[in-house]
Amino acid sequence: DAMVIQNPRYQVTQFGKPVTLSCSQTLNHNVMYWYQQKSSQAPKLLFHYYDKDFNNEADTPDNFQSRRPNTSFCFLDIRSPGLGDAAMYLCATSRDGFSGANVLTFGAGSRLTVL
Amino acid sequence: GQNIDQPTEMTATEGAIVQINCTYQTSGFNGLFWYQQHAGEAPTFLSYNVLDGLEEKGRFSSFLSRSKGYSYLLLKELQMKDSASYLCAVMDSNYQLIWGAGTKLIIKP
């Protein structure tokens, strides 16, 4: 089945120790998104790629970086995780970011714990 | 600013009907989405409305009134597996998705 796969599902790191989360998709979708979601809160868009074009949200901290080496893969790098970065990180894809019926397909998420 | 409002939590009984409301204020409108999110899992798509009226899909229906900035998700014949958070999201004029914080639905036997 075509899907979005995130690894790892659970990541524990120490304060300040870099972390990389990965996302792969077999849907051949053009757009890939990274969201941060804290408990009982709305998902917060960090950035997205339309093909190779990178789009950073204005309020995404510099501590968060992303790479998309090819259509299938996207990575989220957190350079120096703080306690406030503990959250679920959701990767999502969509066929086209510029149409109304732009349904997102999400991965299962990576839950980050910062000690 | 842009805003999506939905109740934080609702409780309903197995077999009953529940309506989850969503009101929005956004810069333009290109459609409204409902997603279901079970605890600790990713959101999954439920419905999309861009025109006024009711869209029915099995036990779930979604209604939209653009003039009132209002939508609801109607769940019929509730099952225990429907216990989840339901997220309302609106696509604005720039095709950006504005998300609500979600409504946690608790189903009791």
* Beta-carbon separation of B101 and A106 below 8 A: no
d(CA B29, CA B52): 12
* Beta-carbon separation of B87 and A42 below 8 A: yes
pLDDT value of position B37: 94
Q: Which of A92, A100, A106 sits opposite B30 (nearest CB)?
A: A100
* Beta-carbon separation of B42 and A102 below 8 A: no
* Beta-carbon separation of B95 and A111 below 8 A: no
Q: Which of B41, B91, B102 sits opposite A102 (nearest CB)?
A: B91
d(CA A37, CA A16): 20
In Å, how far are A58, B15, B82 from A107, measured between CA atoms?
A: 24, 30, 20
* Angle formed at CA B27 by CA B23 and CA B31, multiple of 5 degrees: 60
The two three-digit tokens of residue B83, written as one number? 């216990």
Q: Residue A97: pLDDT above 80?
A: no
Report whether B54 contacts B71 (CB < 8 A): no
Low-confidence ranges of chain B (pLDDT < 50): none
Q: Indicate the pLDDT class of residue A96, thresholds 50, 70 and 90.
A: confident
Q: Indicate the pLDDT class of residue A9, thresholds 50, 70 and 90.
A: very high
List, for residues A11-44, the tens digit of each pLDDT value: 999 999 999 999 999 999 999 999 999 988 999 9
Q: Residue A87: pLDDT above 90?
A: yes
Residues from chain B that touch A42, judged by Cβ atoms under 8 A, are: 4, 87, 99-102
Which candidate, B96, B106, B99, B90, places its Cα nearest to that of B43? B99
- Which residue's structure tokens are 């997220």? B87
pLDDT value of position A1: 67
Q: B105 and chain A: CB distance < 8 Å anywhere?
A: no
Amino acid at A87: A
Which candidate, B25, B19, B108, B13, places its Cα nearest to that of B62? B19
* Beta-carbon separation of A100 and B40 below 8 A: no
Which candidate, A49, A83, A42, A71, places its Cα nearest to that of B22? A42
Q: A40 and chain B: CB distance < 8 Å anywhere?
A: yes
Report whether B55 contacts B49 (CB < 8 A): yes
The two three-digit tokens of residue B26, written as one number? 């956004």
